[in-house]
Amino acid sequence: MDLVQGIFTVLFIAFSVLVGIRILLEYFKLKRKIFIWVGITWIGICSPWYPNAINFVMIVFYNASLSDFWFFILNVSAFPPIVSTAWIIALPGLINIKKRTRNLFLIINFAIHVVFDIFFYYYLFTDISMIGKKISPFYVEWTLFVIVYFFYLIFLVLSGGFTFVWKSVKSGKPEIVLRGKLLFVAFTLFIVGASIDAAINMSDFPSMVVITRLILISSSFFFYMGFLFPIWVKKRLLKEV
């Protein structure tokens, strides 16, 4: 089960990172910075699974795994501030919010991360059980304050995402409507996959490992189709060049 979980986690991360890089590269073609910020966001959105992938590689090649100390830092503290900041910076280009509002969100987001990190690092050095209990190299039972933090991050990304979807669908233009629907599927699949992953101990339900990772991989695929809207999607789904 650990082998299967490790393989499918690596596949999910690899696919998501490739999608993020592909979005980043679009900046050099169109010279629009939004592709940089959205690309960083999608590369980082799978960051909670990075330690699992690292553990898998370490177990396979070195018969060792990350300590709880580094596992928790990589999972909880290292990437979320970067991802959330990149996403907020991208919001004016997605949902037309004013830059003053964007800057207010940045300040609030910064304050939330600072407060969380104060508690996180205090517990990390004094009582790590207040952060979570590592059940296996791939599964942690997080405490309430970490779960609340994760829900904030998910709410931040998805609220902006679904607002963008709503504006796209309401536009009435077939191409933009289709992009909105594809992104709706992407965000919905991510919610489902991440929620199942967080709620279920995979050691109790081995078959769910493959299902959740495939759901998450599918969310990246639909995000790629909806955000970049490549020509083959236009040809196949809009029946036009």
Residues present in the chain in total: 241
Buried b (16+ CB within 10 A) or exposed e, 22-54: bbbebbeeeeeebbbbbbbbbbbbbbbbbbbbb
Write out the chain's pLDDT in tens, 241 residues. Answer: 777 778 888 899 999 999 999 999 999 988 889 999 999 999 988 888 899 889 888 888 888 888 889 999 998 888 999 999 999 998 888 887 888 888 999 999 999 999 999 999 999 999 999 998 887 777 788 888 898 898 898 888 888 888 888 988 888 788 888 888 999 999 999 988 888 877 666 656 667 778 888 999 999 999 999 888 888 877 777 664 4
pLDDT of residue 196: 83
pLDDT of residue 241: 40
pLDDT of residue 205: 66
CATH number of the structural domain spanning residue 51: 1.20.1070.10
What is the CA angle 157-85-122, rounded to 5? 100
Instruction: Extract the runs of DSSP E, i.e. beta strands, from the chain.
Output: 132-136, 139-142
Backbone angles phi and psi of 132, in degrees to 5: 175, 170
- Counting the structural domains of the chain, the total is 1
Q: Name the residue with tokens 């004094």.
A: 126
Instruction: Extract the runs of DSSP E, i.e. beta strands, from 82-231.
Output: 132-136, 139-142
Residue 214 belongs to domain spanning: 2-238
pLDDT of residue 203: 59
